[in-house]
Every structure is written in structure tokens, then in C-alpha cells.
Amino acid sequence: MTGQSPPVAGKRQGGRVTALAAVVVLQALCAVFFVADVVGDIDRSGMDIHTVFEAAVSVALALGVIFGGLEMRRTLEKTRRAEAALSVASGAFSELVAAYFERWGLTPAESEVALLAIKGFDTGEIAEIRGAAGGTVRAQLARIYAKADVANRTQLLSIFIEDLLAGPVGGDSAPAPGQRRSDPPN
């Protein structure tokens, strides 16, 4: 239960950052070229309307490069903070799931089946992943539902969603075995 995103997403993000950085560098080179061109025009022919217009465009391009670079830096930092928060939340969810499984007294096999069910795998897929018969997985799910005091997979998943939406994440908020989530705590 690591909650890690697929490596493809990281590569795609890295590619976007590289492309954006390349565009900002290209804009910076263009700004340097246009500023040098304006300086050369002023040396050759003085200030005329064309030179003033080129100077204004060059300043606008330079400001765009500066603000674009600052915005890129701010966006990268914001993305880094969001990824860190997601990592913490993923870890907290893993801890929450482990606390419930322990409280319900699930065996390691039942814990694996329950986790796969929470992740959305159907009975056939769970059986294939675990190399077990479909009937075995159905029996394990029935035991899991009984231990969790729920009737089906939707109710099992709703326990975790409700806990995440209702308050602090952690083992202390899990109800005792046999106690419904809607029941008041002991």
C-alpha cells in the first residue's frame, strides 16, 4: 500500500517542465537579441517611432520572460508541495486501512483481498492476482464483510471514505469490531 503514482506520470511531468524551461530560455534569448537590436538601431539612426516601438516590444518580452520564469518557479514549488501533501495523505490512508484491518482481526490473506476490493478489483480479478479460485475469494470477502459488519464492498469502502471526510485520520477513529460506523463511539 504505497500509494505511489506510476513512473509514467513523473516522466510526463518532467517532460513538461523541460519543455516549459526550454520555452522560457528561448524567450530569454529572443529578448536579448531584440534588446541588442534596439541598442544597435539607436546607435545607427537615433530614436524614431520604429525604434521606440521595438524598444517597447523588447521590454515587454523581457518582462514576459521574468514573470514567466517566476510563475514557472512558483508553479513547480506548488506542485512539489501538493505531491508532498498527497504522499502524507496516502500514508495516512494506508495507516487508516491497516488500523481497521487489525481491529477487525483480518488474516494476512483477508487483508490482501480486502485491499484489492477497496482498490476496485472485482472477484475474478482478485482471484487472478492472488492465484486463487473465485470461490475462495468470495468466501474471503464474506468473512471480511462479516468481520467489518458490512453487507458488501460498497459499504466496506464507505467506512474509509466516511472516516476520511469526517475527521482526523488514524487508528483511533476506527470503530471497534461489530460496531457500525454510524453507531456512537464507546
Name the pLDDT band for 147 (thresholds 50, 70, 90): very high
What 3 state SS string does 102-145 have? HHHCCCHHHHHHHHHHHCCCCHHHHHHHHCCCHHHHHHHHHHHH
2 has a pLDDT exceeding 70: no
Burial class (CB in 10 A: 0-12, 13-18, 19+), 4: exposed
What is the pLDDT at residue 169?
A: 46
Pairwise CA distance, residues 109 & 43, whole Å: 81
Q: Which range (107-121, 128-142, 159-173) has the least confidence? A: 159-173
Q: Is the pLDDT of residue 73 over 50?
A: yes
Q: Is 178 left (phi over 0), alpha (psi -120 to 50) or beta?
A: left
pLDDT at 20 over 70: yes
Average pLDDT over every residue of 91-106? 90
